[in-house]
Amino acid sequence: MSIAIANLRHVFGLKGDVANNVAFQDEQTIIYPSGSNCILYNIETKIQKFISSVDKSAGMTAMALTPNKRYVAVAEKGEKATITIYDLQTLRKKKVLTTTEVQSQQYVSLAFSPDSKYLVSQGARPDWTLLYWAWEKSKPMASIRTSTNVSNEVYQVRLNTL
């Protein structure tokens, strides 16, 4: 008796509650979250490629594309907030970023530096910690609490290294 295996062929929809949920890899390819996948959709060929979310994830919360268009960072909530960096050429994991400096179970925003070497991530409740990562080394370089009360919560970050 043979076992049937289901393969992903096409995904419909957009996960609208993910920060920065649409990015252009190039003039033909759009990157966006849908369900538990990150979709690379070629608008000319109408072909989708898929990056599946990490096991034990409770869903994507933020996304960022490197300015050099080579990597995408995907933040996922769970017992521990996690950021996974994927290589867009191979669609494989490059790095997984976690730290004990963040108490939150999710990141609400991500942004890469203009040279694509650094990443900032904004954690959510309860501690609202902003982290500055040397992501290729999987190491946070600096951290600071950005909010201590409800009226000053930070939901979006950008990184400019002028």
DSSP annotation string for 90-133: TTEEEEEE--TT--SS-EEEEEE-TTSS-EEEEE-TTT-EEEEE
Does residue 9 register a pLDDT over 90?
Answer: no
* Model confidence pTM above 0.75: yes
Note the pLDDT of residue 154: 81
pLDDT band at 61 (very low <50, low <70, confident <90, very high): very high
Does residue 58 register a pLDDT over 90?
Answer: no
pLDDT band at 141 (very low <50, low <70, confident <90, very high): very high
